Amino acid sequence: MIPTPSRSLLISAIKSSTAKKNPSFGKSIHAQIIKSGYFPGIQLFNHLLNLYCKSNDFVSANKLVDEMPERNLVSFATLISGYSRSDNPQYSLSLVPHLQEQDLSPNQFVFSSLILACSRLKWVDSGEQIHSQVIVSGFESDPFVQASLIDMYSKCYDLESAVSVFGSSPLDDLVIFNSLISGHVSLGSYEEAFELFVELLRNTDLCPTEYTFASVIKSCSNLGIDYGEQIHAYILKIGLESDCFTGTSLVDMYGKLADVESSDKMFQATIAVGDIALYNSMISVLSNNNLHERVLEVFNELKSEGIDPNASTLCSLLKSCGGMKWRDLGRIVHGVVLKSEFYRDLFTNTALIDMYMKCGCTEVSNTLFATLTERNTVVYNAMIHGLAQNGCFNEALRLFIDMSRCGIEPNPATFVVLINSCVGVEKSVFSLVLKHGFGSDLSVQNVFLDILVKGGVIDDAQLLFSKMKERDVVSWTIMISGLSQFGLHYDALKTFKKMQLESVFPNNFTFSCVAKACGTLADMELGICIQASCIKHGIMDEDYTLASLMDMYAKCGALQHSSKLFDESPYRNIIAWNTMIASHAQFGNGHEALALLEKMERKGLEPNQVTFTSLLSACSRCGLVDEGIHVFELITGKYGLKPSMEHFASVVDLLGRAGLLERAKDLIDGMPYEPDTSIKMSFLASCKMHGNVELAEYMKNHLLKMGSLENSGLVLMSNIYSESGKWDDAANVRNNMILKGLKEPGMSWVQIKE
């Protein structure tokens, strides 16, 4: 028999086991009580019940409740609270009738747990019924109940009711403010969340805590860097910057705003008090920004600090392995997963499948998928996307059919992958989209819009765009880009102005498309405004922004503006160098283009195929034969690249213009692949320029043999014969042209600015 004096000691021991979520000690006490037949009091039983609930051992919890000789409100409150936080929150609601059978009335703690269950289940009707009972029971003014109601209504997308509860509560409780701020954030009302935080500071004496800042910082992640920096400054002012929870939120915020440098600084400032959540946040930021080698560094720091990685850490690490195609490292991480508690975790297995797919190991992914005892939409999406990325389109489609047969509902992401993968059956996929009710989903509509643009049906794209009830920056950018690609530059600029009127903020891709349209229309005035916007919003360092603006100024005839932008920018990547070289080529500045190649090499940047295309074009336009041949030799010699058709075309044009027709002919004959018609026509044009009938006939016969001598080639041959006095040959060519039917003369359009 357990001595009565040991009861308090047992309760302390049970509390300690509860904190460690270790039910084994509690079970031994439970067994001893049953064996002794002694009733140690309801308080000890309630502590045991709390231990089982917090350890998610509801089998033992229910068994204990059945064995208890008596149960009080605390007993039911403990079990209801445990279920409300478990994987089966609905069971907490089923306990209410048992509570009533015992003539027990719910208190504020029971109501808070029941409301939490409704919140997690998104059962707004049940939540409203409990709200009515709260009012009848007189707990409507309890701050914890009010906070729970605000949270429940927010999670159930009923912000109006949440605001109503907030309006009836006193403005002196931080928990209530935190609940409504969090509710606004969860529903995407980020500005309202920020304004509520400002109201808290201005109209109350309350001091925000790390929980307040967690929600406000999350809203700033979606509002922009200016909001985020204001909040960060305030956190520094009140001395909360060393708090790990707040530091983690700031790391995450800067990462989502693509300011990895600030994110890393915040990480370093908080690392002394860091926990696994802080490391996970930093690793996730780096992984999402494709800084995969830095991910490994931070992961090694985590291990050296003796912190064990969790599922989130391993998933981010696997994402980096996939991004860099580090198959061997991925296998090592897989081994770590197999030895850990996460080997059955669906989230972790999905990350493994995705990693192997990105490394091209489709068979390993298929094997992993086949061994899963549980499958959801996310893991099916990973498989379908991976198979499509590896060219296994039929398998991807079959897996989608299998997904439907298993009763797993697809989501918009599923159809986005299918539409991009299943070329030629987009209409069939769209029928499935409509069937599943995702026809109005923005991400799906954006994919269809992109397909229409890329498919050349710009009218259909414009029709779909006009009917879209919601349009984000991706929608507008696809449309602007499409119009510009089809030469409808003025329409592209008009669409951009409409986008601004609808308060949709452009991104770097939007600005690049608009800059291209400005350059084509020589609208330098608008181009200057675009540059000002890019500077204001801090996106001059994006890959394509600088290059697009440089190209725009060059096309407007303002090469000095392009050069100034290039010289003053600290963000010069290969794209910017190529654009500057191409601009000099466009203006016939061959020596300047070649000088840029030397500077580029001194900076440690290797030229690529595009670089050489622009350099050869510059040499061709300026007649720099020796320099052009040297550049061509660099392609295969120094840099080990394979010359493209464009490279050969530029050198043939260069040699032809210089009258070195035999060398041009030898180059064409020695090409590793069949030269295209443009190269042969360029050679014919050079033959005409230098009056070389023999080589012209050689090329004419070659074109006839290949069946690619078009009217333009016949016109050239006719002129070559005429200029050489071979009138009979010229007449024969002309007669052939008449028999074939001459192509009607082309037309060019000039865009008139209104």
**435-450 pLDDT, tens digit each:** 555 556 787 788 778 8
Point out the least confidently predicted range of 78-87, 150-159, 355-364, 375-384.
150-159
pTM: 0.56
Could you report the per-residue pLDDT of 523-570, keeping only the tens digit for each? 899 899 988 888 877 777 776 788 899 999 999 999 999 999 888 887
Q: Is residue 739 part of a domain?
A: yes
d(CA 640, CA 607): 11
Task: Determine the average pLDDT of the residues in 413-428.
Answer: 61
Residue 683 has pLDDT above 80, yes or no: yes
Task: Determine the average pLDDT of the residues in 672-693.
Answer: 86
Could you report the per-residue pLDDT of 663-673, keeping only the tens digit for each? 999 998 888 88
Q: In this structure, are residues 148 and 116 in contact, taking their beta carbons and an 8 Å threshold?
A: yes
Which has the closest alpha carbon to 380: 358, 344, 354, 419?
A: 354
Work out the mean pLDDT of the chain and round it to a whole number.
84
Which contacts qualify for 135-138: CB closer than 8 Å, 24 or more apart?
137/105, 137/106, 137/111
Q: How many domains does the chain have?
A: 1
Q: In this structure, are residues 493 and 518 in contact, taking their beta carbons and an 8 Å threshold?
A: yes
Task: Determine the average pLDDT of the residues in 99-117.
Answer: 89
Residue 318 has pLDDT above 90, yes or no: yes
pLDDT at 20: 63
Could you report the per-residue pLDDT of 164-188, keeping only the tens digit for each? 888 777 666 788 888 888 888 888 8
pLDDT at 357: 94
Task: Determine the average pLDDT of the residues in 640-645.
Answer: 88
Residue % of the chain over a pLDDT of 70: 89
Most confident of 142-146, 438-442, 730-734: 142-146
Identify the band that residue 213 occupies on the pLDDT scale cut at 50, 70 and 90. Answer: very high
Which has the closest alpha carbon to 669: 648, 650, 690?
A: 648
Which has the closest alpha carbon to 95: 58, 120, 122, 132?
A: 58
d(CA 177, CA 169): 10
d(CA 692, CA 700): 12
Which contacts qualify for 502-505: CB closer than 8 Å, 24 or more apart?
502/471, 504/471, 504/472, 504/473, 504/476, 505/473, 505/537
Identify the band that residue 143 occupies on the pLDDT scale cut at 50, 70 and 90. Answer: confident
Q: Is residue 716 part of a domain?
A: yes
User: pLDDT: is 18 or 594 the higher one?
Assistant: 594
Q: Is residue 743 part of a domain?
A: yes
Exposure string over 278-298, b if 16+ CB within 10 A, otherwise e = bbbbbbbbbbbeebbebbbeb
- DSSP-assigned letters across all residues of 312-370: HHHHHHHHHHHHTT-HHHHHHHHHHHHTSTTTT-HHHHHHHHHHHHHTT-HHHHHHHHH
Most confident of 25-29, 48-52, 421-425: 48-52
Residue 730 has pLDDT above 80, yes or no: no
Q: In this structure, are residues 276 and 313 in contact, taking their beta carbons and an 8 Å threshold?
A: yes
d(CA 57, CA 68): 17
pLDDT at 747: 47
Identify the band that residue 749 occupies on the pLDDT scale cut at 50, 70 and 90. Answer: very low
Q: Is residue 634 part of a domain?
A: no
Q: Is residue 90 part of a domain?
A: no
Q: Is residue 752 part of a domain?
A: yes
pLDDT at 426: 54
Q: Is residue 718 part of a domain?
A: yes
Task: Determine the average pLDDT of the residues in 667-686.
Answer: 86
Residue 754 has pLDDT above 50, yes or no: no
Write out the residue range of the structural domain in which residue 703 sits: 644-754
Q: In this structure, are residues 694 and 718 in contact, taking their beta carbons and an 8 Å threshold?
A: no
Which contacts qualify for 35-38: CB closer than 8 Å, 24 or more apart?
36/1, 36/2, 37/1, 38/1, 38/2
Residue bearing tokens 């997690």 = 120
Residue 421 has pLDDT above 90, yes or no: no
pLDDT at 251: 93
Could you report the per-residue pLDDT of 192-207, keeping only the tens digit for each? 899 989 988 887 888 8
Q: Is residue 737 part of a domain?
A: yes
Residue type at 292 in one-letter notation: H
